[in-house]
Amino acid sequence: MGLRGLFIEAQRADDPVSAVMIAEEALKLAPSSTWASHAVLGFRCARGDWSGALAILDNNLASGLIDKKAYRRQRGVLLTARALELENVDRDLSRESVIEAVKLAPTLVPAAVLAGKYESEAHQVRRSMRLVETAWLAHPHPDLADAYAHVRLGDSARQRLVRVETLAAKTPGHIEGALAIARAAIDASEFARAREVLAPFTATPTQRVAMLMAEIERTEHGDSGRARAWTLRAVRALHDPVWTADGYVSERWRPVSPVTGRLDAFKWQTPLAALPSDKHATVEASPFEQAMLAPSRRDEPPREPPAEAATPAAAQDNSPQAAAVAEPAPVAAPAPAPSPPLSESPPATAAPLFRARRDIPKGGPSSIPAVIPIVRPPDDPGIDDEPATDEFAEQINPPPRQAGGWRGFLSRLGG
């Protein structure tokens, strides 16, 4: 219990080295400790110590922590991880590990692919095909289809197509089988066959379906426009299955989840974030995509000329025959009643560049009030009525000034 508490505190302090050392010490004292076994196993898998991880797995089986079926599956996962890591380093040990792994877990996709590759190199074609077929029946995967197509080295593209069709027939209606046939048909230049197998999935395509259709358009007809339309559609298409574990998406298979450290956590499935919602299950195609994906002119039957083209030229208004008929006769006979003028089709007008919005009514021109001219702006000081006086300038005939003091008072009183 004390080591368990120290392990939790080391995890909270973000000290993985101390946490693993505590878990290893606890595992030595109590081999049946579940938390210590899980922690040590995850650490050794993350470090790539597959031999140490296998030893922990054997200890779990001896302690009764896992049953025989889980032990076989987990041991196959660890052996496959070691075989993949040693593929380019020690091929003998890699081959030995993956052969044992495919016996323990025959439905494990990476184990079947690598074991089929080694058996094919050893010219054991039938055994290689059986290994891939067993895994395909449980989990159809594109890597299995590719390994099955190249199980015999030196075959032509048409021979690979026939072999892939045989594999896809074991799971009829599955999208992985259709994608595998389409891929092999494109390599064999059998574009009609590729279109045929992809036709049921083009209404709501996934990203791989849309990209294969773009490749068909570009390779068969050199139609870059339709290929670009399919590529744009692939951007908004549904996601294909990927290797997923605890919400983590990986481009390749891994033996342990990087989130929880759980062994054999990765599954080939569509990630939850990529599933369509109930409100917008599909994405509507844009007008550009509809125009580009419409049937091309080479597929349409030839059109017949319109009925108006078969009328004689005399029925036209600008023909000389019609003008001659319209002239009055020179004789004095009563003139015939004038025939009604031929109806002319209104001249075609070009579409407006800007269209008025219907939700905003366009009102008539409002009356503009008359503009009252302003003689002088408000901030203009104007011209002084009296000229500026200068005390130093000589004044001629200055105006008389009023006397000040008592004299001024008497002058005002007397005036």
SS (H, E, C) the chain: CHHHHHHHHHHHCCCHHHHHHHHHHHHHHCCCCHHHHHHHHHHHHHHCCHHHHHHHHHHHHHHCCCCHHHHHHHHHHHHHHHHHHCCCCCHHHHHHHHHHHHHHCCCCHHHHHHHHHHHHHCCCHHHHHHHHHHHHHHCCCHHHHHHHHCCCCCCCHHHHHHHHHHHHCCCCCCHHHHHHHHHHHHHCCCHHHHHHHHHHHCCCCEHHHHHHHHHHHHHHCCCHHHHHHHHHHHHCCECCCEEEECCEEECCCCCECCCCCCECCCEEECCHHHCCCCCCCCCCCCHHHHHHCCCCHHHCCCCCCCHHHHCCHHHCCCCHHHHHHHCCCCCCCCCCCCCCCCCCCCCCCCCCCCCCCCCCCCCCCCCCCCCCCCCCCCCCCCCCCCCCCCCCCCCCCCCCCCCCHHHHHHHHHHC
Cβ contact 40:16 at 8 Å = no
In whole angstroms, what is the distance from residue 414 CA to residue 97 CA? 142
pLDDT score, position 315: 46
| Contact status, residue 286 vs residue 280, Cβ threshold 8 Å | no
Q: Do residues 58 and 27 lie in contact, with contact meaning Cβ atoms separated by under 8 Å?
A: no
Q: Could you give the CA distance from residue 32 to residue 45 in angstroms, rounded to a whole number? A: 19
Q: Are 19 and 11 in contact (CB under 8 A)?
A: yes
Closest CA to 180 of 216, 213, 143: 143
Closest CA to 195 of 182, 214, 206: 182
Q: What pLDDT shows up at residue 316?
A: 46
> What pLDDT was estimated at residue 69?
93
pLDDT given for residue 129 in this prediction:
95
**Dihedral sign (CA 86, 88, 93, 95):** positive
Instruction: Give the pLDDT of residue 65.
Output: 86
Residue found under tokens 């120290």: 6
Q: pLDDT at position 369, please?
A: 55
Q: What is the mean pLDDT of each run of 10 residues along the chain (415 residues)?
A: 85 82 84 84 87 90 89 95 93 94 95 95 93 95 95 91 95 94 94 94 92 93 89 90 90 88 89 55 51 55 50 46 44 48 49 52 54 59 57 58 65 65
